[in-house]
């Protein structure tokens, strides 16, 4: 009877060594993208950090989709000022 080494623990360790940095990079890119989206929409960039919070991310997507963006409000006020003058 030959002894076969169990490679499951070694595979698990190697898997974690590669997956933990990969997941951290993906989360960092996700945060960067959402912070940039909120910033360009006229909101504070820090609202992008809420996308990591489980229920808040759904609520913030609804806010982005259906609320009037601050940049739209500002554009409307500039247009009204130019029409009056």
Indicate the pTM of the whole model. Answer: 0.70
Q: Quick one: pLDDT at residue 78? A: 92
CB 57 within 8 A of CB 51: yes
How many beta carbons lie within 10 A of that of residue 38, not counting itself?
22
Rounded Cα–Cα distance for residues 80 and 85 (Å)? 9
Write out pLDDT tens, residues 40-84. 888 899 999 999 999 999 999 998 899 888 888 888 999 999 886
């Amino acid at each position: 009877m030959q002894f076969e080494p169990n490679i499951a623990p070694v595979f698990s360790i190697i898997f974690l060594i590669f997956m933990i940095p990969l997941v951290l990079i993906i989360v960092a890119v996700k945060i960067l993208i959402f912070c940039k989206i909120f910033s360009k929409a006229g909101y504070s960039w820090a609202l992008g950090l809420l996308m990591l919070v489980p229920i808040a991310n759904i609520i913030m997507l609804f806010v982005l989709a259906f609320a009037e963006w601050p940049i739209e409000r500002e554009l409307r006020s500039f247009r009204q000022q130019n029409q009056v003058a």
